[in-house]
Amino acid sequence: MRQNLGRSTRSIYLGLACLSLTLHLLLAFFCLSVLQTACVLPTSSSSSKPRTDTQGHQFVVRSSSSSAASSSHKLPTSPQIDEHHKLNSNMLHHRGRLSLNESTERKQKLILKVKGHSKLEALFKHPLYNLPYPEPQEDDWLLRVKTNEEVRDTSEEDEWEDDLNNDSKWQSASEEEGYDKITWTSDVDTHPPWLRFHLGITRWELYNRKDPILGHLTHYLATQRILGAVQKTGGTQLKLLVLFPNYGQALVKPMRQPRDAETDVNLFYFSDFERHNAEISAFHLDRLLGFNRIPPVVGRLINITTEIREVTSDHRLSRTFFTSPVGNVCFYGQCEYYCSTEHPVCGQPHALEVSLAAMLPDLSLAPRRSWRSPWRRSYSRTKLAKWEKDPTYCDTVKQTPPYSHGTRLVDLIDMAILDFLMSNMDRHHYETFEKFGNETFLLHLDNGRGFGRHSQDEPSILAPLQQCCRIRRSTLLRLRLLTRPGFRLSDVMRESLAQDPLAGVAPLLSEPHLSALDRRLATILQVVQTCQDQHSDVMYNDLEGYD
């Protein structure tokens, strides 16, 4: 009887073990099927950079031709990023937030739609988005890496010359904790993404949409380990500068309010919070318009404690951290507006959504000139600017350099069109690279006050277009293209934003904001039509010689 009882007990134990193993396997397969996403992982690039500030390397523009073999419309994200954001999405509870299952289902539907027919891919295949630029000459590149021969000619240190003769690569002697040991050569493949982005800037655009470095750079910003964080000086609101292991940097703007929260209609344009999702959306919109004048921006979910508080060397910033009554980690920094305990930046309890923008080359290498916009607002609660009172104001602008010749006026009107679409009234200055003089594009920087209201448009933003009645032919044709059902602006914008890592948490723009883009686009075209009815020289033909 004891033997039979022992056999029965062993059989029961064995059966339970088999059942447990089967359940674990089923659970594993189920989790994999839910969490798997169709993200494209870019090939790894070296995380290296020359220590230009300590070793005396100079960048003065030459870059290898960008490869057109890579897809021109995808901004790849990592499967690890998507999984990280999905697993942490339950930590964020602002209004309108999608649940994990809803987010996964939405992205899967979008992936199936994209596989069948992608409006974004069709848009970027259109000839209007593939106009050839002249072959860049030496002076058309912002930066270039000096060859060994050029460094030998200008170097005053015999020891440095000997090093160049003996070794074609430069190695960092840095022993700084956390930083990667750098091995940098003249081969572009050894450069980190941020450096390759800098070396690709030309007289005509900030980046080439077809260059695979765009995908590498956004992936880099979304995944690199953060080694340090300090508060960026200047400006009116809180901004951070974060540092990466290969000496890269990014400008961070934190989430201050729910994405679908509209700006109070009683607030002045200079009194609103800057929005992290506005910075991300502005980059995508600028790309869809074919401008390519906003540095790449990507969303990221960071840990306030481990990725800001514990790594910051900024004592002024560190003193502003506190724990809220409900246990969320918060900080407020020091700035002109909204930096107080009444306006904190808080995690949930540690997780925080932010935008990370690629930094432009250091001003010591590539100086920039700041220009006051002729259509700058008064920034007064009682006074109007001159252009708001004088309908013939543009006649004076047209006679004033640099707007009296070249493309500067239509460049400014391009920027006004971008600002009107995202309802950004805060455009008081703009910048250009000094090296290119007046023959270059305008940098569309600082877009955090866009996408504040979707229920109301601000026609005064279009004053440059309305008063000057001048527009680039290529810009107008792209705007008309984006009204067609096959390329509708709201649809391609939705598809483009879905590539951002934070889209796994919630849509970057709500549907009312996307609908507002179509409405505002129709308004722009109506203004152009009114100009064409009244004037004969509305079009600036930048497509002369093209079919």
Q: Is 448 within 8 Å of 423 (Cβ atoms)?
A: no
Amino acid type, 135: E
| Phi/psi of residue 431, nearest 5 degrees | -130, 155
Instruction: Tell me the binding residues.
Output: 237, 253, 274, 357-360, 431, 446
- Select which of 426, 491, 500, 542 is catalytic: 426
Instruction: Tell me the binding residues for Mn(2+).
Output: 274, 446
Residue 130 CB neighbours (<10 A): 13
Closest CA to 228 of 334, 340, 318: 318
Q: What is the dihedral of CA 26, 29, 33, 37, to 10 degrees?
A: 150
**Please, what's the b/e burial string for 214-250 (b: 16 or more CB within 10 A of its CB; e: otherwise)?**
bbbbbbbbbbbebbbbbbbeeeebbbbbbbbbbbbbb
C-alpha separations of 80 from 39, 84, 218, 349, 508 in Å:
10, 6, 14, 22, 20
**What is the DSSP secondary structure assignment for residue 335, as one 8-state letter?**
-
- Residue 207, both tokens: 């980046």
Q: Is 154 within 8 Å of 376 (Cβ atoms)?
A: no
Q: Is 416 within 8 Å of 226 (Cβ atoms)?
A: no
Closest CA to 286 of 116, 450, 415, 124: 415
DSSP three-state, residue 362: coil
Q: Where are the alpha helices (DSSP H) in 434-510?
A: 463-468, 473-481, 489-497
Q: Is 268 within 8 Å of 416 (Cβ atoms)?
A: no
Instruction: Tell me the binding residues for ATP.
Output: 237, 253, 274, 357-360, 431, 446
Closest CA to 414 of 479, 458, 472, 500: 472
Q: Is 205 within 8 Å of 292 (Cβ atoms)?
A: yes
**Please, what's the b/e burial string for 148-181 (b: 16 or more CB within 10 A of its CB; e: otherwise)?**
eeebeeebeeeeeeeebeeeeebbbeeeeeebbe
414 carries an active-site annotation: no
Q: Is 197 within 8 Å of 217 (Cβ atoms)?
A: yes
Length of the chain, please?
A: 547
List active site positions: 426
